[in-house]
A and B are shown apart, each in its own frame.
Chain A
Amino acid sequence: MQNNNKIQIEVNVKFLFGLEQGLPIENRQVTVKLSEQYTVKHLIEVLENMYPRLKENIRYGGNFVSYLNIVVNGCEVLPIHAGNREITTGDQVVLMYVGVGG
């Protein structure tokens, strides 16, 4: 998707399994507007600017933690593929930890 037309999109982001801990987010979800780039990677960068503590929850040593789980409209996206995964208005992005045990 080209970004020179400056279209603004709105994406719903949901935080699950404690990933929202320490963030001033109500009901574990937030709507984010993007107008520069339209990828999951950019969305996360925007979120990290909005909520600096988010970095502590999803990165270690600058890299995404191995147990970060990104789901776009019900489909899993590996963090290393976040730069290629495009999103658009109406998409729902879930950020959570890959749960263990059970």
Chain B
Amino acid sequence: MSKYSAYCGKLLRVNLTNSVISEENIEDEILEKYIGCNGLGAYYLYKETKKGVEPLGEDNKLIFFTGPLTGTIFPSAPKVGIFSKSPLTKGFMDSYAGGHLGAELKFSGYDGLIIEGKSEKPVYLWINDGCAELRDASDYWGKTTTATREAIKRDLNEPLVRIAAIGPSGEKLVSYSCIMVDGTHAAGRGGLGAIMGAKNLKAVAVKGTKNCIRIAHKEETQKIVDDLFHEIRTNKVLNSGLPTYGTTGATTANNSTGILGTRNWQTETFEDAEKISNVELADKLFEKTLSCFQCPVRCIHFCKIKDGKYSGLETVKPQYETVYSFGSLCGISEPNVIAMANHLCNEAGLDTISVGVSIAFIMECFEKGILMEPDLNGIKAEFGNSDSLISLLEKVAANSGIGEFIGQGTKIMSEKLGQGTEKFAIHIKGLELAGHSVRGYKGMSLGYAVSPRGGSHQDMRHLPERSGQFDRRSIEGKEQLVHNVMATTVIRDSFTYCAMVEDNIGRVGLTEKHLNIINAICGFNFDLADLQKISDRIINLERCFSVREGMDRKDDILPERFMTEPIPEGPSEGMYTPKEELDIMLDKYYQLRGWDANGVPLFETIKELNLDDIIQVPLR
């Protein structure tokens, strides 16, 4: 048992090749260096995979980790992180899902789970209060995520078991397939579902009833928790906006400042934004809210389509990123269609961002005459054509016809098509871009470029510039801003509190709040410099992983459209990030990080961060 509270101090290792399941202790020294979830995931992934590991090969690992806050009384900290080498980016990938799976895993006695090898036949992993077994999943292969969950619950006679599952897309190795958790949450990004599929692992089912998580300093922790609950109760976004609208308020908010990705980012003002606004979605779709473990915010919503197309469909209401990817980005202004597209993705197990951006790319190819109807199985892939959107999506979900091509992602599609399509292939490091403008936020443009994941909005955050706290139109000081924000996001993902409350804990740099939380709950005796060093260590470790796999400055690049085409209209007209500006920001950022001019961490940096025990130089 760890001397630190809030940890189980154990992980479960599952070898699918030989069906050997074992428990391992997590040393306190490792907890001190990497804290939890994001940090531990990065540590084990780096340590246990070899350079050049094939993402869908037997030697790649799929790692699940919770954090020290998971399963405690700390509010809004339900996340479980999933880590691997991505089939989409070929680099480090982490993706996080809310719900109850993380807490159940800890209540079952484990901080994390390392899955290795490949099963001969489809299996699922059943973890029940510290006992684990692999069970036959042959009958579930081919089933949707919902059908899989229902079947496993019946099989186990455990209606409340928590389940992470892949759908048919993961089985068919669609490169941006996701892992659905309890049907309402997704570890969405980077194709982690394809890795499960490649391992013949259909699902992970967890039940834990042994809540014996210790808290180091109970009174101090109670005060921190009470204060945060008070902040949540008095915060209009958290106690009213998110429970009513989820994150969909961002649609009209972004449109009002001219930074809503529209028609494959040809422009950033969508004339029909009001038709897919938070108010419209709530009016047409809202049914009831759902809460993650120990979270008072309730930002997840169930919906039932009341009338019109797909009337009667009961599903999860789309969040902002999905409204962006299937809505404005594809020129679609029908909430029902966006809800159906979201539903199809959840059932097939697809990342809504990546598939929406990929279809928008196809639509622009169609618009430009690069792809015609016969190339697209007879589908007229026009922007705004909702039937075509759903038809293309169904093809991707089935990995059939043109869907097999689209399922490879925007980067591969543009490389295969050529004809100048790389100019409007909207990905970074192969990961399709989330719904926060590159051109409209200079800080985000640098943050996206250096994000270990690529086109993710969860490494750098847009809020500091969105709020006006930092001038989104200037590159001045953005290297420091990205450095500071990424310190908070990597600590957020290591503690495992949700992005919804990041504003309350600190969004630009680490704070006394971060420090007090981790010291009170776990019993560490960190100071802020220690915590800063931990965040730097994790960021550098992720970077070293991707450098080891061949990435460097050449990959810290933005889609060509954003470096050469200014936003053509609206309140942000004229904004873009030319390569020269990006280079200035990159030079400053690399220097601040202790990386060389090519973006490779210097040996002094690696040594200073005590990473030289697992990182061997030269990295490649």
Binding site for B on A (CB under 8 A): 14, 16-19, 21, 28, 57, 60, 65-67, 69-71, 73-78, 81, 94, 96-102
On whether the beta carbons of B503 and A18 are closer than 8 Å, the reply is: no
On whether the beta carbons of A101 and B258 are closer than 8 Å, the reply is: no
List chain A residues, Cβ under 8 A from B320.
99, 101-102
**Ordered nearest first, which 7 A-B pairs have the shortest CB separation?**
A74-B571, A76-B468, A17-B249, A18-B241, A78-B468, A99-B250, A101-B247
14 A–B pairs (Cβ distance < 8 Å), ordered by A:
A17-B237, A17-B245, A18-B245, A18-B249, A69-B467, A74-B258, A76-B257, A76-B466, A94-B253, A99-B249, A100-B247, A101-B299, A101-B500, A102-B320
A100 to chain B, nearest CB (A): 5
List chain A residues, Cβ under 8 A from B244.
18, 21
Which one, A74, A96, A98, A101, contacts B570 given CB within 8 A? A74
With A and B bound together, what is the CA distance between A94 and B279 in angstroms? Answer: 16
On whether the beta carbons of B457 and A100 are closer than 8 Å, the reply is: no
A18 to chain B, nearest CB (A): 4
20 additional A-B pairs beyond A74-B571, A94-B253, beta carbons within 8 Å, are A16-B249, A17-B245, A17-B249, A28-B279, A60-B234, A67-B235, A69-B468, A71-B256, A73-B571, A74-B570, A75-B257, A75-B571, A78-B468, A99-B247, A99-B253, A99-B466, A100-B501, A101-B242, A101-B320, A102-B499
On whether the beta carbons of A98 and B234 are closer than 8 Å, the reply is: no
B231 to chain A, nearest CB (A): 10
Q: Closest residue to A73 on the B side, CB-wise?
A: B571
List chain A residues, Cβ under 8 A from B502.
100
List chain A residues, Cβ under 8 A from B237.
17-18, 67, 97-100
Which one, A16, A67, A101, contacts B252 given CB within 8 A? A16
Assess whether B278 is interfacial by the CB under 8 Å rule: yes
Assess whether B472 is interfacial by the CB under 8 Å rule: yes
Interface SS, B side: helix
Q: Closest residue to A75 on the B side, CB-wise?
A: B571
List chain A residues, Cβ under 8 A from B467.
67, 69, 76, 78, 98
Which one, B238, B436, B469, contacts A102 given CB within 8 A? B436
Assess whether B30 is interfacial by the CB under 8 Å rule: no
With A and B bound together, what is the CA distance between A74 and B574 in angstroms? Answer: 13
Task: Using A18-B249, A99-B250 as known contacts, say yes or no to A57 and B472 having CB atoms under 8 A apart.
Answer: no
Binding site for A on B (CB under 8 A): 234-238, 240-242, 244-245, 247, 249-250, 252-253, 256-258, 278-279, 299, 319-321, 434-436, 457, 463, 465-469, 472, 498-503, 570-572
With A and B bound together, what is the CA distance between A18 and B238 in angstroms? Answer: 11
Task: Using A17-B253, A18-B249, A67-B235 as known contacts, say yes or no to A101 and B466 having CB atoms under 8 A apart.
Answer: no
With A and B bound together, what is the CA distance between A74 and B570 in angstroms? Answer: 8
On whether the beta carbons of B253 and A77 are closer than 8 Å, the reply is: no
Q: Closest residue to B498 on the A side, CB-wise?
A: A101
Question: Which residue, of A71, A74, A96, A99, has the highest number of chain B Cβ atoms within 10 A?
Answer: A99
Task: Using A17-B278, A74-B257 as known contacts, say yes or no to A97 and B247 having CB atoms under 8 A apart.
Answer: no
With A and B bound together, what is the CA distance between A23 and B550 in angstroms? Answer: 56
List chain B residues, Cβ under 8 A from A18.
236-237, 240-241, 244-245, 249, 278
On whether the beta carbons of A17 and B241 are closer than 8 Å, the reply is: yes
On whether the beta carbons of A100 and B278 are closer than 8 Å, the reply is: no
Q: Closest residue to B257 on the A side, CB-wise?
A: A74
On whether the beta carbons of B434 and A97 are closer than 8 Å, the reply is: no
A29 to chain B, nearest CB (A): 11
List chain B residues, Cβ under 8 A from A67.
235-237, 467, 503
With A and B bound together, what is the CA distance between A28 and B501 in angstroms? Answer: 26
List chain B residues, Cβ under 8 A from A16.
249, 252-253, 256, 278
The number of inter-chain residue pairs (CB within 8 angstroms) is: 116
List chain A residues, Cβ under 8 A from B242.
100-101
Task: Using A18-B278, A71-B256 as known contacts, say yes or no to A97 and B571 having CB atoms under 8 A apart.
Answer: no
Q: Closest residue to B254 on the A side, CB-wise?
A: A99
With A and B bound together, what is the CA distance between A94 and B255 in angstroms? Answer: 11
List chain A residues, Cβ under 8 A from B498.
101
With A and B bound together, what is the CA distance between A57 and B245 in angstroms? Answer: 16
List chain A residues, Cβ under 8 A from B500.
100-101
On whether the beta carbons of B258 and A102 are closer than 8 Å, the reply is: no
With A and B bound together, what is the CA distance between A16 and B319 in angstroms? Answer: 16
With A and B bound together, what is the CA distance between A14 and B277 in angstroms? Answer: 13
List chain A residues, Cβ under 8 A from B245.
17-18
On whether the beta carbons of B466 and A69 are closer than 8 Å, the reply is: yes
Q: Closest residue to B241 on the A side, CB-wise?
A: A18
On whether the beta carbons of B256 and A14 are closer than 8 Å, the reply is: yes
B535 to chain A, nearest CB (A): 20
Q: Closest residue to B469 on the A side, CB-wise?
A: A78
On whether the beta carbons of A76 and B235 are closer than 8 Å, the reply is: no
Which one, B241, B258, B501, B570, contacts A97 given CB within 8 A? B241
With A and B bound together, what is the CA distance between A96 and B611 in angstroms? Answer: 44
Which one, B234, B252, B436, B468, contacts A70 given CB within 8 A? B468
A19 to chain B, nearest CB (A): 8
With A and B bound together, what is the CA distance between A21 and B492 in angstroms? Answer: 31
With A and B bound together, what is the CA distance between A67 and B570 in angstroms? Answer: 24
On whether the beta carbons of B468 and A77 are closer than 8 Å, the reply is: yes
Q: Closest residue to B458 on the A side, CB-wise?
A: A102
With A and B bound together, what is the CA distance between A76 and B467 in angstroms? Answer: 7
On whether the beta carbons of B499 and A101 are closer than 8 Å, the reply is: yes
List chain A residues, Cβ under 8 A from B258.
74
List chain B residues, Cβ under 8 A from A98.
237, 463, 466-467, 503
With A and B bound together, what is the CA distance between A17 and B43 in angstroms? Answer: 39
With A and B bound together, what is the CA distance between A69 and B501 in angstroms? Answer: 17
With A and B bound together, what is the CA distance between A66 and B468 in angstroms? Answer: 11
With A and B bound together, what is the CA distance between A69 and B465 in angstroms? Answer: 11
Which one, B250, B503, B572, contacts A74 given CB within 8 A? B572
On whether the beta carbons of B472 and A76 are closer than 8 Å, the reply is: yes
List chain B residues, Cβ under 8 A from A97.
236-237, 241, 249
